[in-house]
Structure 1
Amino acid sequence: MQDIKTDVLIIGAGSGGLSVAYGASQMGADVTLLEGHKMGGDCLNFGCVPSKALIAAGKHAHAMTTGAPFGVAPVQPEVDYAAAKRHVHSAIGTIAPVDSQERFEGLGVRVIREFGRFVDARTVEAGPYRIRARRTVIATGSSPFVPPIEGLRDVPFHTNETIFDLMETPEHLIVVGGGPIGMEMAQAHRRLGIEVTVLEGSKALGKDDPELAAIALERLREEGVDIREDTKVERVSGTAGAITVHTSKGDVTGSHLLMAVGRKANVDKLNLEAAGIEYDRAVTVGADLRTTNRRVYAIGDAAGGFQFTHVAGYHGATIIRPILFGLPARARTDHIPWATYTDPEIAQVGLTEAQAKEAHGDAVEVLRFPYHENDRAIAEGKTTGLIKVMVVKGRPVGASIVGAQAGELIGLWALVLANKLKIGAVAAMVAPYPTLGEISKRAAGQYYVPRLFESDAVKRVVRAVQRWLP
């Protein structure tokens, strides 16, 4: 057993772990990074990057069938499913060097390709190494949750960790789970010419504003995705190519099965008890992201809460301050945005309309502006969608968007909430014309409509001033 002493030990080389490794090493700390699987973690290899690459392939196919309003004759695309998957792997391969072992070793990080487990409060064993660190960061991420459904283990099924390696074209893909992963994959596969059925035990896209979710789900249904809500999966049977999912509302038979019912934090193999670290479904942390062992932090999916790549990166940046300088730092959640990359996209930051009204009651004003009144959306035929901004005493507390490029547009509102800006900051912004960005400015302007344009007092003042002006 080889002994290593290090300033910072990071367990997991996903988004959060790599953020800490980069920052700490560049500021002079001795950094050791453990990764027992793939550098770059879930996002690069099984999540964000491959899913968006497959969605892009679906968009190209869909565009060939929807050009009639623009004078372009629709044609039925010839889809090479395997080639679409090669595009997915090309995207992963292009990004991979940024997250590679070679790059981080070049930055001075000691990279060990082994899984780690605690043996005491300060020591982690990884393969032939025993590592003692001043500070340890758990950044092990999460993996697909596979529910204990009767018969599931006896039939072939996919998760997001295997679906992108499937090269044969599914005839009929059954997706269990109507959350973001399930709906994104459902629409992408449907656009590539595959029959798709989604089974959701509750409401599809149930964590999003229901008004916005309904708009996105209507589009998916129009495109031919069979979405069955309030449908409980009871058991699974069959063989490869003929899998039957037995539900509370009847049986569904398809050629392939994708399980997309959620994720679980990767904490089981860490032997956290040996280090005095409490956990349940994820590691227990405070607002400072410290665990019950004061020398150990947990970030990203391993710490529970929002399971987004950008949150892991944010957590990583947050804990650099305490682990390198001993200074306090706390992670916030009120300014964290997220997006679902269906078409139309759904994006959210801060409180939804329902959450804002529950928290602030009648003090909430909901500002709305539809895509169909935006000139760029009209020119491009992307008029489906709207924005809602929740405002309390002149300060936005949340924004919800459904429509084209919602994931891009939400960034402005994330900036507003992060810096606690007032609605006037967006209203005063000059957006280039014509852009979808004007939607945010027009929504902000709605705050002043009753205060300026519908106010009898303002009109009386204006008339009085006009009489005195030369």
Structure 2
Amino acid sequence: MAFLQARKVYRGYQKPKHFDRNLVVIGAGSAGLVSAYIAATVKASVTLIEKGEMGGDCLNTGCVPSKALLSAAKAAAQIREAGKSGIETTPPRVDWEKVKLHVRTAIATIAPVDSQERFEGLGCTVIREHAKFAAPDTIISPSTRVKARRIVIATGSRAFIPPIEGLAKIPYLTNETLFDLPDFPEHLVILGGGPIGMEMAQAFVRLGAKVTVIEMDKALGRSDRAHAEIAIETLRAEGVTILEGYKATKVEQEGQTIRIHTEPKDGAAWIVEGSHLLVAVGRQTVFDGMDLEKGDVDHDRKGILVGDTLRSRSNRRVWALGDAAGREQFTHIAGWHASVFARRAFFKQRTTADSLPVPAVTYTSPEIAQLGLTEAEARKQHGDDITTPSFRFEESDRAIAEADTEGEVKLIVRKGKLLGASIIGKDAGDLIQLVSVAMSNGLGVKELTHFISPYPTRAEGVKRAANAHYADVVFGKSAKRLVGLLQRIP
């Protein structure tokens, strides 16, 4: 009897017999919306609380506007490069107001899918207020108090602002303000050479701005090094100044000029002057005013402390999804986390957050797509017990026909097992999905050779990289001897 009683008590808190709602979701970004949608579809009672814009960062200030801006910039670049195909054009004229309209139109077109009206139509109660914990099972807002069986924290992240002297006094930009700039920047200085910084660097230089990127370490440092260098050199060739190994130490403004003082790891210090400053050095999770302590929810600077099930280690009724979980920070991961939550909470499946490999794409031109281990990571774990079969697009008939042969497909293989892949080149983010399907379903490199790829396509490159793994087996001396013997058989 004492044992049964103890099970009802959780860290000194008596489990209530009644809940107002089956699920409360805090945050209407990708993870929160998918969670609420699945729960409402299976007829769970759902309250969705969001103090900001429906759709979160991805729709309003992240993925959608950045890709729309990149699309406009790519159009300008294609006009400049049309002469390579025998098409004579005049230099493009960029209308910043119309470019911003293009960005806003993309957001507005997608917005109804994430709207309050849609989710209320699904049966969710949607509250547009700030939410916080009042108890381990209770969430309150200025107008609501709700007791929940399950609570999902999907509050996302925002740009991390580093403690650089003088930065707080400067009207710096982040992804939340970049796409609404009233005037097009004459010289955009970007702190951070990660995917966001490099994507925006290429976008703005193609639209006509002068651009300088300041990166403390290596630009695109999480990508395959050889592939990252190809992208970096492409941006430099287009006019982007990239300072690697430089730390910004002080920021000041004089008139309309913003001045960034830097210290290098090696060499001479630089003082970079620009008209605008974009801070893109990383993200930090958002838990402002949520009173997580009252909810008995342990967390650190990265996010809620969770295991691979995404449940809070300190309060088992709480789940953290997306950026709030302190893991990979991608929109597609947020959606996957919501799937993990729904499978475990409603269907009692044993899916975990780590059960599938995570793809990542940097949407520069050329794109860089990464899945699983990089070559460097694989060699660190397995030494020389790996192979890296590859296929360069300069051998692709489709790439040759399009006069766009930069890049390659590289597979990371150990004893026939796919450990990872990196693709750089046009449409790399689409091509990596072939490898993602294989790895996610336990298929090896052999299976990537066993399908018919239509000709001519860039996707042939994945199959041909896989074929390269077996080149010695098929065309080596042993194979030639075997074929010679077999030919003697009548």
Fold conserved between structures, TM > 0.5: yes
- Change in Cα spacing, 1:376 to 1:327, as seen in structure 2 (3 Å) is closer
CA drift at 1:82 = 1.5
Q: How many angstroms apart in 1 are the aligned matches of 2:260 and 2:209?
A: 18
RMSD: 1.3
Shift of 1:307: 0.2
**1:199 is the counterpart of 2:221:** no
Mapped partners of 2:182, 2:66: distance in 1? 15
1:135 aligns with 2:150: yes
2:182 is aligned, of 161, 167, 191, to 167
- What is the one-letter code of the residue matched to 2:273? T
Shift, 1:74, TM fit: 4.5
Output the CA distance in 2 between the equivalents of 1:181 and 1:253: 21
**Which amino acid letter does the alignment assign opposite residue 262 of structure 1?**
G
- CA offsets per residue over residues 69-119 of structure 1, 9 Å max, x none? 211124311111121011001100000000000001001111110111111
**How far does residue 142 in structure 1 lie from its aligned partner after superposition?**
0.5
Q: What does residue 488 of structure 2 align with? A: 467
Cα deviation code 1:212-250 (max 9, x no counterpart): 000001100000001111111011001563111111122
Equivalent residue number for residue 279 of structure 2: 259
Q: Which residue of structure 2 aligns with residue 53 of structure 1?
A: 68
Shift, 1:4, TM fit: 8.2
Task: Please state if 1:294 is matched with 2:316.
Answer: yes
How much does 1:356 deviate?
1.1
Helix, strand or coil at the partner of 2:222 = coil
Q: Is the 8 A contact 1:334 1:349 kept in 2?
A: no
Task: Give me the whole-angstrom Cα distance separating, in 2, the residues matched to 1:269 and 1:453.
Answer: 65
Matches within 5 A, 1:389-408: 389-408=411-430
Shift of 1:327: 4.2
Residues 184-227 of structure 1 deviation map (CA, whole Å, 9 limit, x = unaligned) = 00000000000111111111111111100000011000000011
Among residues 333, 351, 361, which one is paired with 1:339 in the alignment?
361
Alpha-carbon spacing, 1:333–1:180, altered in 2? closer, same or farther (3 Å):
farther
Matched, 1:316 2:331: no
Deviation beyond 6 Å, 4+ runs, structure 1: none
Name the counterpart of 2:46.
Answer: 31
Are 1:92 and 2:107 counterparts?
Answer: yes
Could you tell which deviates more after superposition, 242-251 or 90-99? 242-251
The reply on whether 1:66 has 2:81 as its aligned counterpart is yes
Cα separation, partners in 2 of 1:240 and 1:12, compared to 1, 3 Å: farther
Farther-moved stretch of structure 1 (12-21 vs 356-365): 356-365
Question: Is the 8 Å Cα contact of residues 426 and 440 (structure 1) preserved in structure 2?
Answer: yes
1:274 aligns to what?
294
Question: Aligned letter for 1:276?
Answer: D
Letter in 2 for 1:373: E
Q: State the match for 1:448 in structure 2.
A: 470
1:369/1:435 CA distance change after superposition, 3 Å: same
Aligned AA (1:181): I
**Which residue type is aligned with residue 322 of structure 2?**
G
The answer as to whether partners of 2:19 and 2:149 remain within 8 angstroms in 1 is no
Question: 1:236-273 CA distances to partner (integer Å, 9 max, x unpaired)?
Answer: 00156311111112211111110001000112422111
Specify the alignment match of 1:230 in structure 2: 245
Q: Which residue of 2 aligns with 1:154?
A: 169
- Specify the code of the residue in structure 1 equivalent to 2:114: D
Deviations 1:19-61 (A, max 9, x none): 1111110011001101000000000001100000000000111
Between 11-20 and 421-430, report the one with greater CA deviation. 421-430
The one-letter amino acid of 2:485's match is A
1:334 positional shift:
5.2
Secondary structure of the residue aligned to 1:363 is coil
Q: Distance in 1 between matches of 2:203 and 2:416?
A: 40
Which stretch shifts more, 122-131 or 342-351? 122-131
Q: How far apart are 1:361 and its partner, in Å?
A: 2.2
Give the structure 2 partner of residue 285 of structure 1. Answer: 306
Give distance in 2, aligned partners of 1:328 and 1:443: 34
Instruction: Give 1:328 deviation, angstroms.
Output: 3.2
How big is each residue's C-alpha offset from its partner over 1:125-164, in whole Å with a ceiling of 9 and x where there is no partner? 1121111100001100100001111111111110001001
When normalised by structure 2's length, the TM-score is: 0.93
1:79 aligned partner: 94
Contact 1:427 1:442 in 2 (8 A): yes
SS of corresponding position for 2:223: coil
Whether 1:14 and 2:29 are equivalent positions in the alignment is yes
> Which amino acid in the other structure matches residue 182 of structure 1?
G
Q: Which structure 2 segments of 5+ residues have no match? A: 1-17, 264-268
1:382 matches 2:404: yes
Paired AA for residue 383 in structure 2: G
Does 2:99 correspond to 1:107?
Answer: no
Query: Matched residues in 1 for 2:305 and 2:107: separation?
Result: 32
Q: C-alpha distance in 1, partners of 2:255/2:28?
A: 34
